Amino acid sequence: MVKPLETNDAREFFASCRALIDAELDRLIPKEAESPERVHAAIRWSVFAGGKRFRPALLIAVGRTFGACLDHLLRTACAFEMIHTYSLIHDDLPSMDDDDLRRGRATCHVQFDEATAILAGDALQALAFQTIADDEKLSSDLRIRLISELGRAAGVPGVDRDPLEQQPQCAFRRARDPGQLRPCRASTGALDRGRDTR
């Protein structure tokens, strides 16, 4: 596995994390040839649209600072990015912000259609939870904790909350922009505490 660079240069670190996250996302997300092909094509169109991968990179940075193994952080980092992308797909829908462009190209519902975009977002949200649940590098207790916090932050309690109101145990927050998922300092450190054997 390619490791993020041990560097003090932020650009180098984020670039290496982006390559790492993109490779893992490509492995986790079904290929376009797999049925249902149109939904998988829409998912990949949105996930690989040139995102900076800032949120998973920040999770990795904080987790490594607390001494967590990169292998124990990677899938959870990808789950964060899946939730972020699902929220962007739904946020762009005609019933929400009705945006035609995202990251300089057609939004999912414009490139495909509204129904496919809804299904793609729904599938990404489910895949995020599955990605953590299936991560056998983490203890069962840690996986349950992460899934619980992910659901709390991505669901109704995580919408329109001021960052000052966040509880320290939250895994990340969903800010006023539905796509703005940000790892929380204390919870990412909890990944390190999850390094205990199963």
pLDDT tens-digit map of 175-190: 333 333 454 433 544 4
Residue 94's pLDDT is 94
Q: What is the pTM of this model?
A: 0.81
Which burial class, exposed, middle or buried, applies to 57 when counting CB atoms under 10 A from its CB (0-12, 13-18, 19+)? buried
CA-CA distance, 17 to 13, in Å (whole number)?
6
Position 191 confidence tier, pLDDT thresholds 50, 70, 90: low
- Domain extents in the chain: 10-193
Task: Tell me which residue of 127, 157, 144, 138 sits closest to 198, measured CA to CA.
Answer: 138
Q: Which CATH superfamily is domain 10-193 in?
A: Farnesyl Diphosphate Synthase (1.10.600.10)
In the DSSP assignment, the letter for residue 99 is -
